Amino acid sequence: MTGVHPGAWAAAAMIAAVVLTSTAGEVLTAAAMKSVGDLDEIRAKSGLKGAIRGVVTCPLFFMGVFFLSLSFFSLLFALNHLSLSLAAPASASLTLITNAIAGKIFLRENVDRRRWISAGLVCVGVYFLAH
């Protein structure tokens, strides 16, 4: 790898790093918010401070933010080596699919046919839109 023209495997590894860290961050954040509960109800009962306290006292939330930060820096690194028209749509599209898989496995969400089709349509749509 020269750093100027990374090979196909290096490009795939960079995009995979963005997708995996982003998926981990999204899943951990979603799990955190499910454990906190409905924020609208908490805010109605305990006010805005209560809702903020509920979020910032959840360790899963900070793990999620940590992985989302890693994803952000992975994307910056990828953009430093790959073209925007490859890195941005590829990572955005693949993240939708990996999140659907991770949501089904780790969050035990009911990812029915409707959601699979929707994720697929949006995935292809994002790819087209970024070109």
Q: Which positions lie near other proteins, rule CB under 8 A?
A: 26-27, 29-30, 33-34, 36-40, 55, 92, 95-96, 99-100, 103-104, 107-112, 114-115, 117-122, 124-131
Which residue lies nearer to other proteins by CB, 10 or 116?
A: 116
Contact by Cβ (8 Å): 95, 23: yes
Task: Give me the count of residues in the chain.
Answer: 131
Determine the Cα–Cα distance for residues 46 and 10; give it in Å rounded to an integer: 49
Q: What is the smallest separation between the CB atom of 111 and other proteins, expressed in angstroms?
A: 5
Q: Judged by CB, which is closer to other proteins: 1, or 105?
A: 105
The Cα 76–Cα 82 span in angstroms is: 10
Q: How far is the CB of 106 from other proteins (least distance, A)?
A: 10
Orientation angle between helical segments 84-105 and 59-81, nearest 10 degrees: 150
Instruction: Locate 99 and state its tokens.
Output: 């999140």
* CB of 14 vs other proteins, minimal distance in Å: 21
Looking at the Cβ atoms of 16 and 130, the one nearer to other proteins is 130
